[in-house]
């Protein structure tokens, strides 16, 4: 089955800096890659997603890039703010299954 690895597990940045979270997947048939943000005590919130026929997608301060050849995709957050502090999960869809990475705890220091 699909295996998704996510790095780093924790990331601390200064407010205003950029943050990058990387994920690799194993199943070359994976064709959909969402990113979720989970704040303490809440369910995961879909923040951006990308399909396998697109290399990059941007939404305001967040962007996702996909390299199908290398089987990895990344989340980029620019001009980080304290409210960006949360746990971020990547995921990859292969067939009828969504496999999640282990999560990255992002801390934005004011």
Partner 1 sequence: EAGVTQSPTHLIKTRGQQATLRCSPISGHTSVYWYQQALGLGLQFLLWYDEGEERNRGNFPPRFSGRQFPNYSSELNVNALELEDSALYLCASSLTSWLEQYFGPGTRLTVT
- State phi, psi for 84 to the nearest 5 degrees: -80, -10
Least Å distance, CB 41 to partner 1, is: 8
Least Å distance, CB 81 to partner 1, is: 23
Least Å distance, CB 89 to partner 1, is: 6
Using the minimum distance from each CB to partner 1, give the nearer residue, 45 or 67. Answer: 45
User: Which residues contribute to the site for partner 1 (CB under 8 A)?
Assistant: 32, 34, 36, 41-46, 49, 89, 91, 93, 96-103
Using the minimum distance from each CB to partner 1, give the nearer residue, 68 or 78. Answer: 68
Residue recorded with tokens 């048939």: 29
Least Å distance, CB 102 to partner 1, is: 5
Using the minimum distance from each CB to partner 1, give the nearer residue, 80 or 101. Answer: 101
Using the minimum distance from each CB to partner 1, give the nearer residue, 42 or 83. Answer: 42
- DSSP assignment of 64-109, as one string? EEEETTTTEEEEEE-S--GGG-EEEEEEEE-SS-EEE---EEEEEE
b/e 77-96 (16+ beta carbons within 10 angstroms → b): beebeeebbbbbbbbbbbee
Asked whether the beta carbons of 19 and 77 are under 8 A apart, the reply is: yes
């Amino acid at each position: 089955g699909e295996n998704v690895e996510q790095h780093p597990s924790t990331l601390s940045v200064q407010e205003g800096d950029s943050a990058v979270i990387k994920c690799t997947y194993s199943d070359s048939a994976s064709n959909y890659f969402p990113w979720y943000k989970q704040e303490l005590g809440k369910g995961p919130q879909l923040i951006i997603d990308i399909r396998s026929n697109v290399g990059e997608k941007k939404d305001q301060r967040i962007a996702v890039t996909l390299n199908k050849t290398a089987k990895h995709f990344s989340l980029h957050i620019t001009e980080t703010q304290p409210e960006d502090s949360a746990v971020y999960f990547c995921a990859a869809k292969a067939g009828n299954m969504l496999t999640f990475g282990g999560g990255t705890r992002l801390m934005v220091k004011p």
